[in-house]
Structure 1
């Protein structure tokens, strides 16, 4: 059973990596012309433990607020380079963007991706000053699987037992967060198994484990919806009704609001072309609206940080 799951996962991974890189090369053509890029910086010993740093050329201030982005891909595929366009667009909000790769399933299962996120953030905290980053203004962001990773880390900062449960030294997790940008993510690994979304069971089980006992146990730890507290940072949450994972965003937004967390929502009806992954297609009205709303949210966070430092 496990070997069949692995074979399917590797096949899906290979397919989406090929077409993702080809599509990314086309969609991202010319997207880096307005940023200064530092490529493939190591934050760990493995080949997947790399990040890119994007600084907008238009930024006049020496120290910029920081955005750390985790890519999507169902925890089994994709790469930060496919996200050059998204990262560069977010950087134009006068943010220093760290675009992070992490170990992927099925070669590296849970909790490898979460461990890498923590290691990357620790590296960023220790080194961001050298790249012109402001340690008092940090935002985590991600789409799809990356939204799960970003929101899980924010939960673990408030509920540090989560770090211990996945083998992370919580003493290294010191960096307070100003906010989160979350696009069409997965936040509940139990409910997601019933979602009408291509390959979702394959993605989730490749990441958490195919055995029922392992899946249930790991899903309790990995599901951000189970660990939200009133101390959670402000959230910008975006998704579209056409997306098979839309219910995940609705449920997470409800949980955030019931916990008293500031949650700015941009939810698209079926009238908009806002299928899963719509951010890549930056000419779509939904994509333009999402980036504009995310930019307004980031501006509000950086302005509040500036007022707090005065």
Structure 2
């Protein structure tokens, strides 16, 4: 089952309903890190087993100037472009505690090759050593680098689309919200590196844009995930108040660019994505979505990374159309 929501389609399914196929609840941070670490061992080779050879790769560029692996990015450029292209800036997932840009190489290369865009694939500092503010600082530094250097690779930094999967999608959404909300940017200690008008769109793959679900009974992640992202550990009303400053859904009233959401009923963060789409629609912010039902076994959390799935290919096709629409490039030919 494939469901596509547009701005006039009501969302009838209860947004807080967790996927029935998710047996995990209140997973502690240490267990999630162990699970992600075990999965990551084979992801790089599996996801990149058939590389894309129609693009040029520029690996491990130091965007912060400190030599840290956490501050490296890759730039992937389609060959023979005869005009400046939009820039798609992507952040990997991993529960804020793990992950790396390398397994996303093919995903990013496919977007560059098929969608006519420059793709920046970036690392960032991870919890529990670092907090959400550090991740936002790194994301802002990536945008600063893009503003200064995208043209060297044929990119137009006035036409940026931010994106990410899972925790990386959250960082992209919070970075977008910070560009529109001085209070949020000040809270995290950043000065937005690019004007909000340069952020033409946001892509969310199985993201967590609504932290209110953290408090729902049976949610997949324990509350220590929230605590580790905040400046100080806290509980009760203080914890809920702090969650607002890392919850993008709470920062839509000052404006937001068009959004493309991909999720599924098998996604750990399905409810948060439905909440986000509802909030966007309520404010008449353009939102496109691709939502797979439980009958699509491939469409598990962050399935979009693996190009072998037909469900992933459909994501890529729609993503190309979305970037073309919001960033003002020629529409790709429909499949």
TM-score, normalisation: structure 1? 0.88
> 1:1-310 residue pairs with structure 2 within 5 A?
9=29, 12-13=32-33, 15-44=35-64, 45=66, 46-57=68-79, 59-92=80-113, 93-170=115-192, 172-174=193-195, 176-194=198-216, 196=218, 198-199=220-221, 201-208=223-230, 210-212=233-235, 215-229=239-253, 231-273=255-297, 274-303=299-328
**Which runs of 5 or more structure 1 residues have no equivalent in the other structure?**
1-7
Q: Secondary structure at the match of 2:285?
A: coil
Q: Provide the aligned C-alpha RMSD in A.
A: 2.2
**Which runs of 5 or more structure 2 residues have no equivalent in the other structure?**
1-27
Return 203-212 or 19-28, whichever deviates more: 203-212
Query: Structure 1 residue 241: deviation in Å?
Result: 0.9
Contact 1:118/1:153 (CA < 8 Å) preserved in 2?
Answer: yes
Counting matched residue pairs gives 297
Query: Structure 1 residue 26: deviation in Å?
Result: 2.1
Contact 1:56/1:95 (CA < 8 Å) preserved in 2?
Answer: yes
Distance 1:127 1:40 in 2: 14
Query: Structure 1 residue 136: deviation in Å?
Result: 2.4
Contact 2:180/2:254 (CA < 8 Å) preserved in 1?
Answer: no
Query: Structure 1 residue 21: deviation in Å?
Result: 3.8
TM-score, normalisation: structure 2? 0.82
Q: Check 1:231–1:168 CA distance in 2 against 1; reply closer, same or farther (3 A cut).
A: same
Q: Secondary structure at the match of 2:328?
A: helix
Q: Check 1:272–1:97 CA distance in 2 against 1; reply closer, same or farther (3 A cut).
A: same
Query: Structure 1 residue 16: deviation in Å?
Result: 2.1
Distance 2:32 2:95 in 1: 10
